[in-house]
Amino acid sequence: MAARAYWQGQIRLALVSIPVEVYSAVKTGAKISFNQIHEPSGQRIAYEKVVPGIGPVDRDEIIKGYEISKGNYVLLDEEEIEAVKIESKKTLELVQFVETHEIDPLYFEKPYYIAPADDLAEEAFIVLREALRQAKKIALGQLSMRGREQLVAIKPCGKGLLMETLRYADEVRAGQSFFHEIGDEKPAKALLDLAKTLIDQKTAPFDAGLFKDHYADALMRLIEKKAKAKDGKRILEDVEEPGSAGKSNVIDLMAALKKSVGDKEKPAAKKAPAKKSGAADKATPAPRSRKRA
């Protein structure tokens, strides 16, 4: 089944308009989700709209309210809310360009792929993509759809473009408010050098396929096993707990770093063991595969 476009319209750069289609870059159904079930009957639990002291209410008696203080609401009906919604537009105008490093990762929200809508749009699409790539810039604009206006950033992505919705400034908390109690002390050079060595040893190109959600995998195995169980009994899986570093909560940072660096180096030292003879042979037993009388 072909993917359904999230948005269809045109990107406008000055007097140039490029027909495009936008597709979600993430799979919303990939996560495992649960429903609440009434165990005695096996039926799914439904929720009723209730008012404390009154009980269930009809849907047509419900309106929306914005809490301005504890228990005090400004009430709004659907007509009032609809009146201030932003009209959906079929044009995404690129209004600013910024350096690729200027946008803090905190602002990025959700990714989408952009592709040309047809063959006629392809030439202009490629020009925009390559111009952004060579300039090392990100394009900014605001996309109006479904009653709201979203700030978006667009950058090259292989043969296409990647659009990411951005959070507005008032949606992001200032991180420094959480860090103000952290001291200004500089780390000891020996500790810093060991940490940097460990970082260098574990540095590799990013490959998302190397990382797995082990909890989700174990949960799916449990679900599949229970689905096959005829008696419907509970099946408990053994869960491996991470190994403890020790009984004490006090960690010798230098020793831990040295051990981490040393453990990484050991396998490399065993790749090509040197042959020993004489007294050394007597002190170190040979492997079984080589033991011949």
pLDDT in tens, 100-126: 899 999 999 999 999 999 999 999 999
Q: What is the pLDDT of residue 221?
A: 83
Q: Has residue 236 got a pLDDT over 90?
A: no
Q: Has residue 186 got a pLDDT over 50?
A: yes
pTM flag (> 0.75): no
Q: What is the pLDDT of residue 87?
A: 66
Domain assignment present for 116: yes
Average pLDDT score over residue span 191-203 = 89
Domain assignment present for 264: no
Domain of 123: which CATH number? 2.40.290.10
Alpha helices per DSSP H over 136-213: 176-179, 189-201
Q: Has residue 246 got a pLDDT over 50?
A: no
Q: Has residue 194 got a pLDDT over 70?
A: yes
| Among 44-58, 209-223, 260-274, the least confident range | 260-274
Give the torsion through C-alpha atoms of 243, 247, 250, 253, to 10 deg: -40
Which among 119, 93, 102, 107 has a CA at the least distance from the CA of 9?
93
The structural domain count of the chain equals 1
Q: What is the pLDDT of residue 284?
A: 44
Count of C-beta atoms within a 10 Å radius of residue 152: 21
Domain assignment present for 113: yes
Domain assignment present for 195: no
Long-range contacts at 211-219 (CB < 8 A, ≥ 24 apart): 216/31, 216/32, 219/32
Domain assignment present for 21: yes
Read off the pLDDT band of 264 (50, 70, 90): low
| Among 6-10, 193-197, 199-203, 246-250, the least confident range | 246-250
Please, what is the average pLDDT of the chain?
81
Domain assignment present for 121: yes
The listed range with the strongest mean pLDDT (27-31, 111-115, 216-220) is 111-115
Q: What is the pLDDT of residue 88?
A: 67
Expressed as residue numbers, the domain containing 165 is 7-26+85-170
Domain assignment present for 253: no
Distance CA 248, CA 183 (A): 24
Read off the pLDDT band of 144 (50, 70, 90): confident
Q: What's the token pair of residue 20?
A: 């495009």
Domain assignment present for 255: no
Distance CA 189, CA 257 (A): 13
145 vs 63, more confident: 63
